[in-house]
Chains A and B, each alone.
Chain A
Amino acid sequence: MNMDLQNLVDQSPQISSLPTIFYQINEAVEDPESSFVEIGEIISGDPSLSARLLRIVNSSFFGFPNKIETITHAVTIVGMAQLRDLALATTVVNQFKGIPKNLIDMEKFWLHSVATGLAAKVIAIYRREANADRFYVMGMLHDLGRLLLLLNIPESMKTVVDKYASGGTMYDVENDVLGFDHAAAAGQLMQSWQLPEMLQEAVAYHHKPHQAPYYPVAASIVHVADFIAHGMELGSCGERFVPPLDPKAWEMLELPLSLLPSILEQVDRQVGEAVEMFL
């Protein structure tokens, strides 16, 4: 099955790897000797990426009181790891631009992704996780596998969609028809992009979080965030129903039920702006 998935990812060279700039940023962030200025210079080498990042850090998503004019300033204020994660999110969105409209409504798809990302971030903040923006990225990318499947095996996905019309959840139908689902496909894609294992697992296991071998908490956060985004009917990833909630995933978060209203409130408040910012 893994072999099949690898083939599937390799089929489209334009998405089987990320732009080199991302790896350069990543390398610099991982290098303890690199400075804010160096990272700023690498990012500034890509004007379109710089512009997108500046738009993000100047939005109410961060709510900094003063305007951030340069990437170097952004790095110092947002943090290196956070800026890398934001760069990843916007790079991936760019990577998947130009998917034909008849396959999937991309606006709705990204709305669902952004809403899931926001819910994941809010949950992560309540859990006092370090670098909550990382969880935003996980949520944002969790359904990427669906795009990969639609792009590379549209015929098989048509069978999936037809069969899905007669009932069940879409990922169950994917498993029936293809032998794997969009979560596993996304996991494989992240692996070939050499993204951190935590991200790979959180995405690959978002429908079965308790099975994640090393990062069940991250997978649970994405699982619950996905559940929330579906219930709030923000956007769509192709799935029309709220997926079942894994009770173990909720327990894993160790959050009181009374936080739920405020999670919803915050997602509602931020989602409009967040969508515009990333797309």
Chain B
Amino acid sequence: MNSVKIKLIREGMVTATEVKDRTGRILLASGKTLTSKHLKVLKTWGITEINIMSPKESSSGSGQSDKSISVDPSIVKAMDELFQFADRRHPVVSEFYNLCLNRKVKEDV
């Protein structure tokens, strides 16, 4: 089971859990194969990510694809300093760190 972002969801993927909206209303059952109609419904209700069954299809967090790009070490050093009091073992902090780093690298270019 993998949590996949809506942008990366494609037709044919299978839901691993029920999909609920913010109020807890069930939009899709577990084990459903997604069709284009489902995707539309999910987007309409503002669903941002859902759990998908097949591990092969899984996609990674947003930071991953950018890691292969070489980053100026001075930027990384500055970012590490900026985040020295934030615990980067926490998933939110680590995702946020990556986002900020990407943002800064883009600004630099």
Contact = CB atoms under 8 A, between A and B. Distances in A.
Nearest to B47: A256
B99 A241 contact: no
Interface string A240-279: 1111110100100000111111001000100000000000
B83 A231 contact: yes
Contact of B48 (A228, A231, A233, A259): A259
Contact of A257 (B86, B91, B104): B91
Given A232-B103, A241-B82, A243-B85, A250 B92 contact: yes
Given A257-B91, A258-B5, A241 B83 contact: yes
Contacts of A241: 81-86
Given A231-B96, A231-B97, A264-B103, A258 B85 contact: no
Contacts, number: 63
A174 to B, nearest CB: 15
Interface of A: 128, 169, 227-228, 230-233, 240-245, 247, 250, 256-261, 264, 268
A252 B79 CA distance: 27
B49 A256 contact: yes
Given A128-B22, A231-B100, A260-B95, A245 B87 contact: yes
Contacts of A250: 92
B54 interface: no
B90 interface: yes
**Interface of chain A: mostly helix, strand, loop or mixed:** helix
A256 B93 CA distance: 13
A9 to B, nearest CB: 29
Interface of B: 3, 5-6, 22, 48-49, 62, 81-87, 90-93, 95-97, 99-100, 103-104
Contacts of B5: 258
A243 B82 CA distance: 9
Contact of A242 (B6, B86, B91, B104): B86
B61 to A, nearest CB: 8
Contact of B99 (A128, A242, A243, A264): A264
Given A128-B22, A231-B83, A258-B49, 13 more contacts: A169-B85, A231-B82, A232-B103, A241-B84, A242-B83, A242-B85, A242-B86, A247-B92, A256-B49, A257-B92, A260-B96, A264-B99, A268-B103
B85 A261 contact: no
A130 to B, nearest CB: 14
18 contacts: A227-B86, A230-B82, A231-B82, A231-B86, A231-B100, A232-B100, A232-B103, A233-B100, A241-B83, A241-B85, A241-B86, A242-B83, A242-B86, A244-B87, A245-B96, A258-B6, A261-B99, A264-B103
Nearest to B23: A128
Contacts of B62: 261
Nearest to B22: A128
A7 B66 CA distance: 52
